[in-house]
Amino acid sequence: MAGYCGKLLRVNLSTGEITKEELDIALAKKFVGGRGLGSYFLAEEVDPAVDALSAENKLIFATGPLTGSQAPASGRYMVVTKSPLSGTIACSNSGGFWGAELKRAGYDMIIVQGRSDKPCYISVNDDAVEIKSAERCWGKLVSETTDLLLEEAGDAKARVLTIGPAGERQLLLACIMNDRYRAAGRSGVGAVMGSKNLKAIVVRGSGKVATAKPEAAKEVLKRVRQMLKENDITGKGLPTYGTSSLVNVINEHGIYPTRNFQRGHFETADKVSGEALAEQYLVKNVACYACPIACGRRVKVGDVQGEGPEYETLWAYSADCGVDDLAAVIRANNWCNEYGLDTISSGTTIACAMELYEKGYIKPDEIDGPALEFGSSEAIVEWTRKMGAGEGFGARLAAGSYRLAESYGAAELSMSVKKLEMPAYDPRGVQGHGLEYATSNRGGCHVRGYMISPEILGIPEKLDRFSVDGKAGWVKRMQDLTAVIDSTGLCLFTSFALGADHYRDMYNAIVGEDWTTEEMLEAGERIWNLERRFNLKAGVGADEDRLPRRLLEEPILAGAKEGQVHRLAEMLPEYYQERGWDAKGVPTEERLAQLGLA
């Protein structure tokens, strides 16, 4: 057994029963692991039509076969469940050290099912697995909970994954935090954990992930480490400026969504950029498990110390809210980390509220906090705190921009796809990336097929970002490859330097397979179709493969090549065709059979 541990842990919180099950390795390889294998178990065991916050939904913590191995940037784990925010399948991916520790404890995956009567947490120490009371931690912030549980474990090297008060309250923008500052951020996975009365999972392991072909592994890992080191992005840009090095790049291209996507350029972006962060607030770089890139930022503002903000966070709270006060963005980000909120959806929901306020939908007398005015530092910090605390109007914001805007009869002002808020790239100036937003299986998401790489950064080759030609095929291939990278347990950022063949070589050497690149990409396509089928059964289909009307009808303002709209309708039929789906976006029986999903 190499790469995989060959064992999964099943914890039934309703009955208190804990079982250790053998993992079918042939099945695991078919779906790679992590996101793919977790999605397989969810689709097998949960009715897609289930209420996401009911005891019938399951919460799966899945690592990949390379998680915790000697491969670089292999600290990833994924949370797979049905999303209460979007109603789609959810898979939120996080770094840090928790995932690698779970593998060291001997498990590929934890499946949590049922619901506990009282607040509890799961303690895993190699073979010893217990459900313990979390009464002491309930209501506590992420940092407080982490301190308490480390003390209770009596082992400073244990790894803590927890929800904050936002997850306890089942707020739809709640995330799951691990190692204090890393987040399985999107799709409201923290609310599902809260609905099970599960506060945390503490893990300690003493084992090691085995390697099938040590000599081959040594050779390929040396090669990819060298490539990561020599690559301009992974070797230089990300270590020096973190993910926010992208602020000025995207802004100069005129696709930096400003004031809830009303404009494509933020005049004072440089004041809230990666360069400014490095100059003014950076204390040091932080790396996840086995990562040579170290893009994490430890920062300090007055008495607030923490990590981040990352590019998407920085954008959501600055340009999208019209705020150019970096200290305020760091404070808002800190509240998200402490209460356990998705930074992208929280910042953009405040931006949406600001537009609703500007246009007179939200009246000054109905809110119990600072005026929701674009540009207000006070508003972004205080409303984030109130969201996390579920206080007054803050609780309404914490249900996300779609439900907020819809409650005022203005759903189109929510800049979301499938009710998940879109991140920091205006699709009107990057046609392929917009198609990726529209078709992502979890909704408005940039990390399911990052078309910014070819359309803006020129990786692996430069595409004309305003053209729609051939973009459907590109999006499909990027989505399939990304599904594989996620599922192996490697960080997606390695793909700035590595190509499909490198992932194949690492997988083959560590797991002991003989995959061809084609077989690997087919596994990615299998995962994509599995997710799509879950969504269709959940009632989320082609009607929701769309973008907000603003992006399709209102020409972009104050961006490069003003006047552009997104041309989704020209690309979507071709995308369905590329995928072997019918005109309604449903995978054909024939295609499913070819992929082994019939």
Binding region for another protein (CB under 8 A):
232-233, 236-238, 240-246, 248-249, 252-254, 270, 274-275, 295, 310-312, 423-424, 446-447, 450, 452-453, 456-459, 462, 465, 493, 496, 559-561
Sequence-ordered strand ranges (E) for 157-281: 159-162, 176-178, 182-184, 198-204
Taken as a whole, the chain contains a residue count of: 598
> Which of 270, 391 has the CB closer to another protein?
270
Instruction: Judge contact between 414 and 548, C-beta under 8 A.
Output: yes
Between 50 and 457, name the residue whose CB sits nearer to another protein. 457
Nearer to another protein, 245 or 416 (CB): 245
Q: How many CB atoms are located within 10 Å of the residue 287 CB?
A: 17
What does DSSP assign to residue 155? Answer: -
Q: Where are the beta strands (DSSP E) in 429-578?
A: none
- Cα angle value 77/81/84 (rounded, 5°): 125
Angle at alpha carbon of residue 127, lines to 70 and 6, rounded to 5°: 50
Q: Please identify, using beta-carbon distances, which residue of 241 and 393 lies nearer to another protein.
A: 241
Minimum CB–partner distance for residue 248 and another protein (Å): 5
Query: 3-state DSSP helix/strand/coil percent for the chain, to nearest 5?
Result: 45, 15, 40
Query: Nearer to another protein by C-beta: 181 or 383?
Result: 181
Least separation in angstroms between residue 458's CB and another protein is: 8
Query: Side chain identity at 248, as an amino acid letter?
Result: N
For another protein, give the closer residue by CB, 312 or 545: 312
d(Cα 317, Cα 344) in Å, to the nearest integer? Answer: 8
Q: Whose Cβ is closer to another protein: residue 167's or residue 274's?
A: 274
Q: Could you tell me which residues come within 8 angstroms of residue 119 by beta carbon, excluding any fewer than 6 positions away?
A: 133, 134, 135, 137, 138, 168, 197, 199
Shortest distance in whole angstroms from residue 355 CB to another protein: 24
- Report how far Cα 361 is from the mean position of its chain's Cα atoms: 31
- Residues 338, 339, 341: CA angle, nearest 5 degrees: 110
Least distance (Å) from another protein to the CB of residue 451? 11
Type of residue found at 290: A
Q: Are 563 and 555 in contact (CB under 8 A)?
A: yes
Q: What is the SS3 assignment for 139?
A: coil
Handedness of CA 175, 194, 149, 210 (dihedral sign): negative
233 or 595: CB nearest another protein: 233
Instruction: State how far the Cα of 91 lies from the Cα of 113, in Å rounded to an integer.
Output: 17
Give dist(CA 133, CA 199) in Å, integer. 9
Cα torsion 136, 139, 142, 146 to 10°: value is 0
CB 343 within 8 A of CB 310: yes
Shortest distance in whole angstroms from residue 247 CB to another protein = 9
Instruction: Starting at the earlier edge strand, list the strands of the sheet with 109-113.
Output: 17-22, 7-12, 109-113, 59-63, 77-82, 89-94
What would you report as the CA-atom Rg of the chain, rounded to the nearest whole angstrom? Answer: 22
Q: How far is CA 569 from the centre of its chain?
A: 27
SS (H, E, C) 13-74: CCCCEEEEEECCHHHHHHCCCHHHHHHHHHHHHCCCCCCCCCCCCCEEEEECCCCCCCCCCC
